[in-house]
Amino acid sequence: MRIKLCNVDLLREYLSILAIIGIPFGFFSNLLIINDNNRKIWIGSFIIIMIILYLIVFYKANKISKLKFNINNNRIKIYYGDIFKENGLKVIPFNEYFDTHVDNNIIAKNSLNGKFIIENKLDTSILDNEIESKLNSEKYELVNRNVGKKKKYEIGNTIEVNGEYALTAFTKFDEYNRAYLTKVDYVSFLLRFWKNIDKIYNQRNIVIPLIGSGISRVEGNMKLQDYLEQILNSIKLSGISIPHDCEIKIVLHESVRSYINLYKIKTLYKGES
């Protein structure tokens, strides 16, 4: 997301830098004997330096593509990439039925869970058996649907499959098999998700996408930036604590770059870019 020239956080950072360089500038200007003509040049040079400095700060803010910082002593990294190429326990959001049939109706081929099934060339009958086995002790509601699975689980339920993936029940489905969610649902999901991921991550890096970025029917007018901020806030609220040699990685797809303000996140969490 392009940062505006008049961004408050940007101005605050710029003024803090200006305060540092302004002290020696003023000191040396007092030491020098400056006539009126030279004084104008001196002041003009300082103004030009101020403008150039602000443009540098502005440019760097707009070029941020990765961040690292801590939340509750948990090491957090945010960057753009391909979640399937990452090492660690990779989180894949599913619907509340854990459907696996990729038909561009229940599951779209270009969705993250669609790619998970297609790119890994998974036998869905084997995957379904593993999902059923892992969810054996979880409560569910039987729903008479025309297509798809019948067992509906609570959002936030999370299971490990294939040794390196965590499938999580994220979206709700209406009677027309359309995914939807409310803002309250999203917050509730995140808190349950962290509680369940804490049980299965087994001292590995936790790699998550921008959960919610593929949902168009979200009540509450949430933007992609809101999803990222809610994820980070939920880490703080969840109380999850991972070892210092592990990280929580939030891998953003390139398609969301123009909608995400990493400079704001850097400012909020005092991150390093």
Q: pLDDT tens digit string along 188-218?
A: 999 999 999 999 999 999 999 999 987 766 7
User: What pLDDT, on the 0 to 100 scale, is given for residue 235?
Assistant: 97
Do 141 and 248 fall into the same domain?
Answer: yes
Mean pLDDT lowest among 17-21, 29-33, 114-118, 240-244:
29-33
User: Are 192 and 225 part of one and the same domain?
Assistant: yes
- Surface-to-core class of residue 93, CB atoms within 10 Å of its CB (0-12 exposed, 13-18 middle, 19+ buried): buried
Q: Are 99 and 216 in the same domain?
A: yes
In a domain, 201, yes or no: yes
Same domain, 83 and 27: no
Say if residue 57 is in the same domain as residue 141: no
Instruction: Work out the pLDDT band at 5, boundaries 50, 70, 90.
Output: confident
Does residue 3 form part of some domain? no
* Residue that terminates a domain, selected from 37, 62, 87: 62
**42/77: higher pLDDT:** 77
The residue that leads in pLDDT, 2 or 9, is 9
Judgement on whether residues 53 and 155 belong to the same structural domain of the protein: no
Q: Which of 212, 216, 203 has the alpha carbon at shortest distance from 247?
A: 203
* Domain's final residue, options 44, 62, 80: 62
Predicted pLDDT at 105: 85
Between CA 206 and CA 248 the distance in angstroms is 5
Average pLDDT, the chain: 89
Amino acid at 169: A
Question: Containing domain of residue 237, as a range?
Answer: 66-269
Query: 76 and 50 in one domain?
Result: no
Angle at 181 between CA 175 and CA 187, to 5 degrees: 150
Tell whether the model's pLDDT for residue 239 goes beyond 80: yes
Domain assignment present for 1: no
Rg, Å, the chain Cα set: 24
Residue 159 lies in a domain: yes
Is the pLDDT score of 134 beyond 90?
Answer: yes
Same domain, 89 and 57: no
> The domain that contains 143 carries what CATH number?
3.40.220.10
Nearest to 95 by CA among 215, 243, 223, 196: 215
Name the pLDDT band for 172 (thresholds 50, 70, 90): very high
pLDDT of the residue at 179:
85
* DSSP-assigned beta bridge partners for residue 182: 219
Angle at 187 between CA 184 and CA 192, to 5 degrees: 120
Domain shared by 146 and 17, yes or no: no
Nearest one of 197, 198, 201, 259 to 228, comparing CA atoms: 259
Whether residue 109 has pLDDT greater than 80: yes
Task: Give the whole-number percent of the chain exceeding pLDDT 90.
Answer: 66
Residue 46 domain-assigned? yes
| Mean pLDDT of all residues in 66-73 | 96
Looking at residue 34, what is its pLDDT? 54
pLDDT category of residue 174 using cuts at 50, 70 and 90: confident
Note the pLDDT of residue 24: 59
CB-CB contact of 170 with 208 (8 Å): no
- Give the residue, 1 or 19, on which the prediction is more confident: 19
The size of the chain, in residues, is 273
Bridge partner residues of 89 (DSSP): 206
Is 242 found in the same domain as 205?
Answer: yes
Do 46 and 150 reside in the same domain of the chain? no
What pLDDT is stored for residue 43 in this prediction?
75
Give me the DSSP letters along 89-135: EEEEEEETT----BSSSSB-TTSHHHHHHHHTT--HHHHHHHHHHHT
Q: What is the pLDDT of residue 23?
A: 60
67 vs 182 pLDDT, higher one: 67
> Into how many domains does the chain fold?
2
Is residue 72 scored above 70 in pLDDT?
yes
Does 146 share its domain with 20? Answer: no
